[in-house]
């Protein structure tokens, strides 16, 4: 019995484009379980904690601006290997390079913005997932 969990976000571009259902459909079709779900507009403080590793990078301020620009759908998913598995579903960070068949490859593109608008976030390790779940779902 695995209880590996990952933190998935449908970013403001994905929510605005009505892609939450499409993202969750792919998560469920893959076989992962939805453990928690919320729609909220994150604060800059919350995003500062979530993206602490990127502080100081050229895209950091545009990233926080973008991520706080509107509602996101936050989800905790569960299943053996789901951290790596969701990253595979999401595809490469740059949506221009992301392979067809992936969320970013099928649904994303470069819009010429300072930060890549790439529809989803997924935790990059089980340790990151634990840290991120505590930020987005402190009740879990």
Per CB under 5 A, which of residues 87..126 are in contact with Mg ion?
A: 124
Report the residue number, 78 or 124, with the smaller CB distance to Mg ion.
124
CB 96, CB 19: distance < 8 Å: no
Asked if 50 is an active-site residue, the reply is: no
Burial class (CB in 10 A: 0-12, 13-18, 19+), 92: middle
Interacting stretch for ligand IDP, rule CB under 6 A, among 1-9, 37-45, 76-84, 111-119? 111-119
Question: Which is it for the CA torsion 45, 51, 57, 62, positive or negative?
Answer: negative
Interacting stretch for ligand IDP, rule CB under 6 A, among 36-44, 73-81, 116-124, 130-138? 116-124
Residue in 6, 20, 102, 118 binding ligand IDP, rule: CB under 6 A: 118
Query: What is the closest distance, in whole angstroms, from the C-beta atom of residue 104 to Mg ion in the complex?
Result: 12
């Amino acid at each position: 019995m695995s209880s590996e969990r990952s933190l998935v976000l449908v970013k403001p571009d994905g929510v605005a484009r009505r892609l939450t259902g499409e993202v969750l459909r792919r998560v469920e079709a893959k076989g992962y379980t939805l453990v928690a779900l919320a729609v909220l507009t994150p604060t800059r403080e919350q995003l500062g904690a979530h993206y602490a590793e990127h502080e100081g990078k050229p895209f950091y301020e545009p990233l926080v601006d973008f991520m706080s620009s509107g509602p996101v759908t936050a989800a905790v998913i569960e299943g053996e290997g789901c951290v790596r598995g969701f990253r595979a579903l999401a595809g490469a960070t740059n949506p221009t390079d992301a392979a067809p068949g992936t969320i970013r490859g099928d649904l994303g593109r470069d819009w010429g913005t300072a930060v890549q608008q790439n529809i989803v976030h997924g935790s990059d390790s089980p340790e990151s997932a634990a840290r991120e779940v505590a930020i987005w779902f402190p009740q879990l």
